[in-house]
């Protein structure tokens, strides 16, 4: 969330970033007349947002319009590292069912039509590829250090989570991880609340968040997904896996990873006028029945919200292709009688997932060259 340097959050109905981004809890329409209202931190601001009452369905776009670019980096080839902290997650070789669902999501996500929406959001160096990879899984069975700062509940603070990220990198041998593309996601035990370090608590103000931290002069993106137990606002509306907690963790992880890929240093990448990132704009909302599951790779099927597409102006669970031109037009050349202008070439690059079929409106010779990813056409 903005307002907290370097945080992006999924808050109860709102998202945030900037050094920190919050992911909305449940995500009901802002200021709706729902049972209880909470304050959600969004890019360093506080907004009133409700905890959802009936559970969600299709995600409707929240926030303030289109995503805009703020001149910072994106992750061109995202790699996600999972850190399961505390008792109840099993072991690296025998994960609990809920942890298995999260791992399977990241194994199945790329390349898919669902993940393709992220290709719309480049930085000045290039696109985010439809190629999110799972970098590794680490299980720390030790209990997180806690206090009672979140309404008297056992609470792990953000400072301890940062320390756990550093410990996991060392213990799992992830020191060679590419900091520009890495995201370290920490999953906390079901019995422990999370404090973001700025007074906000999980399942009261947010469901998940991402920030940055510096380790040995290297800046890494990391995120926290609090276990979705106390408030249904952080839960998915259904589970094709028969495990609502694992499904909810995968759903929140999806939104968080999208935010981190397109705004890894919160507040410098892509977000809208109200500080919502692409994932947080599309959190579950109390708008009806659960949508059908999303089919990913390897037969994987998950209950997932959409992700925001500027091209469609909506939350999408399917996105075909995104094209870029090497030049917006071909220059008009003046020639003298009996001579020809120099050849001019325009190239289309398909940064999306669908095959590209392209035919010039004024056929010339030679014929255009075309592949799945590029097509070049020359005049004359």
Is the same domain home to 113 and 68?
A: yes
Is the same domain home to 13 and 98?
A: yes
The conformation of residue 3, written as its DSSP 8-state character, comes to T
CB 8 within 8 A of CB 1: yes
**CA distances (Å), 287 to each of 41, 46, 53, 229, 241, in order?**
23, 24, 10, 21, 22
- Specify if 280 maps to a domain: yes
Is the same domain home to 332 and 308?
A: no
Is the same domain home to 218 and 106?
A: yes
Is the same domain home to 302 and 367?
A: no
**Which value, to the nearest 10 degrees, does the dihedral of the CA atoms of residues 155, 157, 158, 164 take?**
-90
Is the same domain home to 270 and 359?
A: no
State the alpha helices, DSSP H only, in 95-178: 97-108, 158-172
Q: Which of 299, 316, 333 is the last residue of a domain?
A: 316
As a whole number of angstroms, the distance between CA 37 and CA 18 comes to: 24
- Specify if 1 maps to a domain: no
Structure tokens at 179: 């900091």
Residue 245's H or E segment, with its range, is helix 244-262
Is the same domain home to 367 and 245?
A: no
Residue 94's H or E segment, with its range, is strand 94-95
One digit per residue, the tens of pLDDT, for the chain of length 380 reads 333 334 665 554 333 333 456 665 543 322 222 222 222 222 322 222 222 222 333 567 889 999 999 999 999 999 999 999 999 999 878 999 999 999 999 999 999 999 999 999 999 999 999 999 999 999 999 999 999 999 999 999 999 999 999 999 999 999 999 999 999 999 999 999 999 988 899 988 999 999 999 999 999 999 999 999 865 678 898 999 999 999 999 999 999 999 999 999 999 999 999 999 999 999 876 556 788 899 999 999 999 988 999 988 999 998 876 555 444 444 444 555 666 555 656 566 665 555 555 555 544 444 444 444 444 444 33
**CA distances (Å), 47 to each of 5, 36, 263, 265, 279, in order?**
17, 14, 20, 21, 18
pLDDT of residue 187: 98
Query: Can you give the residue range of the structural domain that contains 370?
Result: 321-380
pLDDT of residue 288: 64
pLDDT of residue 217: 92
- Specify if 380 maps to a domain: yes
Closest CA to 249 of 241, 69, 169, 375: 241
Domain count within the chain? 2
Closest CA to 7 of 238, 191, 245, 271: 271
Is the same domain home to 285 and 364?
A: no
Is the same domain home to 87 and 224?
A: yes
Q: Which of 280, 301, 316 is the last residue of a domain?
A: 316
pLDDT of residue 248: 95
Is the same domain home to 246 and 325?
A: no
pTM of the model: 0.77
**Other CB atoms closer than 10 Å to residue 126's CB: what's the count?**
11
pLDDT of residue 15: 35
Is the same domain home to 258 and 292?
A: yes
């Amino acid at each position: 969330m903005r307002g907290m340097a370097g945080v992006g959050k999924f808050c109860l109905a709102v998202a945030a970033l900037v050094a920190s981004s919050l992911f909305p809890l449940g995500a009901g329409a802002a200021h709706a007349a729902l049972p209880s209202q909470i304050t959600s931190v969004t890019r360093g601001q506080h907004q009133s947002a409700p905890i959802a009452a009936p559970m969600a369905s299709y995600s409707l776009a929240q926030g303030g319009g289109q995503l805009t670019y703020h001149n910072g980096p994106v992750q061109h080839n995202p790699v996600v590292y999972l850190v399961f902290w505390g008792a109840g997650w099993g072991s690296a070789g025998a994960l609990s069912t809920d942890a298995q669902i999260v791992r399977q999501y990241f194994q199945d996500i790329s390349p898919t039509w669902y993940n393709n929406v992220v290709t719309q959001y480049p930085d000045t160096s290039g696109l985010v590829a439809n190629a999110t990879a799972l970098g590794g899984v680490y299980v720390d069975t030790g209990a997180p250090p806690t206090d009672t700062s979140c309404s008297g509940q056992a609470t792990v603070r953000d400072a301890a989570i940062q320390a756990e990220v550093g410990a996991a990198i060392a213990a799992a041998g992830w020191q060679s991880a590419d900091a520009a593309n890495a995201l370290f996601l920490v999953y906390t035990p079901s019995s422990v609340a999370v404090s973001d370090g700025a007074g906000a608590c999980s399942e009261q103000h947010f469901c998940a968040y991402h920030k940055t931290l510096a380790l040995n002069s290297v800046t890494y993106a990391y995120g926290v997904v609090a276990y979705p137990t106390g408030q249904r606002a952080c839960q998915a509306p259904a589970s094709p896996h028969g495990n609502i907690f694992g499904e909810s963790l995968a759903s929140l992880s999806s939104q968080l990873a999208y935010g981190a890929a397109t705004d890894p240093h919160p507040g410098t990448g892509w977000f809208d006028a109200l500080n919502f990132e692409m994932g947080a704009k599309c959190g579950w909302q109390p708008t009806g029945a659960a949508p059908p599951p999303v089919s990913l790779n390897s037969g994987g099927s998950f209950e997932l919200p959409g992700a925001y597409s500027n091209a469609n102006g909506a939350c999408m669970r399917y996105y075909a292709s995104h094209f870029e031109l090497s030049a917006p037009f071909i220059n008009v050349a003046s020639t003298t009688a009996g001579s020809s202008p120099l050849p001019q070439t325009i190239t289309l690059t398909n940064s999306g997932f669908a095959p590209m079929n392209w035919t010039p409106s004024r056929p010339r010779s030679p014929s255009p060259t075309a592949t799945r990813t590029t097509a070049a056409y020359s005049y004359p």
